[in-house]
Amino acid sequence: MEIRLDLTPPPAASERTHAAAPTGVVSVVVDVLRAGSITARLLERGADAVMLTSSVRAARQRAAAHGALLVGDVGGVPPEGFNHAATTASVRSIECADRSVVLLADDAPHALAGARSPCVLAGLVNAVAVVERVMALDPSTVVVVCAGERGEPDLADTIAAGLLVSLFERASRARGDVGPAVSGATRFCLSVLRTTKDPLDGIWASSAGSDLRAVGLEEEVAAASEIATSDVVPLVDHVDHAFGRPLVRLVRM
């Protein structure tokens, strides 16, 4: 099995059609803070779908059209008309069973829209479940894409990507592969993971972690640093565009 990795989404990702990859290729988009974690938690709560967008205007329009809940915040504060902030504490109180949710997210929609299908969304909270579910598809190639932070690599996603690669390597050997082929970026993420004594320390110091701490959301950094606390794997079901930005629909795999 081959493992490929991008530290940020390809530059033209938002302009590509979410097309099927060659047989045997599966994409995994990593967004630790916060879309990967919050999306898994919303689907855990029974949401029938979570739609991700970086546009407040698109989020409001889609929620109105589908009777969906609006979840998200800007600088730690939900925009006007939003039902809940995108925090773990808020999600635990949301009654969203059999309802759709529109989630405001900065970087994940762009990365998901550019990835080839089948594509799943990962954080640390569901890393083990993601690897198990992807390996069940018997892939020949796994492409891991870090969502990053405003177009730049971010330490939080790099650490999570390193963990995912490590788990994929272990799973690949367990099924009898001689050893997965890895690229330079993949080895880099593994090195970052191995030199980070505690993932929370790295995620705390990341750009995304620093942004959250600056607006008083330290608890979100800790919550997103939990490993294997969810068995939910969000799968990209459909990609649309609204107001010039991707709008990605995810369902429970």
pLDDT-above-70 percentage for the chain: 96
Q: Tell me, what's the pLDDT at 15? A: 44
Q: Tell me, what's the pLDDT at 200? A: 83
Query: What pTM does this model have?
Result: 0.92
pLDDT at 105 over 70: yes
| 73-90 average pLDDT score | 91
Asked, for residue 150, whether it belongs to a domain, the answer is yes
CATH number at residue 69: 3.90.1560.10
Q: Going edge to edge, which strands form the sheet with 141-146?
A: 69-71, 100-104, 49-53, 245-252, 234-242, 119-122, 25-30, 141-146, 2-6, 181-182
14 — pLDDT class (breaks 50, 70, 90):
very low
Asked, for residue 167, whether it belongs to a domain, the answer is yes
Q: What does the mean pLDDT of the chain come to? A: 90
Q: pLDDT tens digits, residue range 220-241?
A: 999 999 999 999 999 999 999 9
How many domains is the chain partitioned into structurally?
1
Domain limits for position 92: 2-9+21-252
Asked, for residue 64, whether it belongs to a domain, the answer is yes
Asked, for residue 14, whether it belongs to a domain, the answer is no
Asked, for residue 15, whether it belongs to a domain, the answer is no
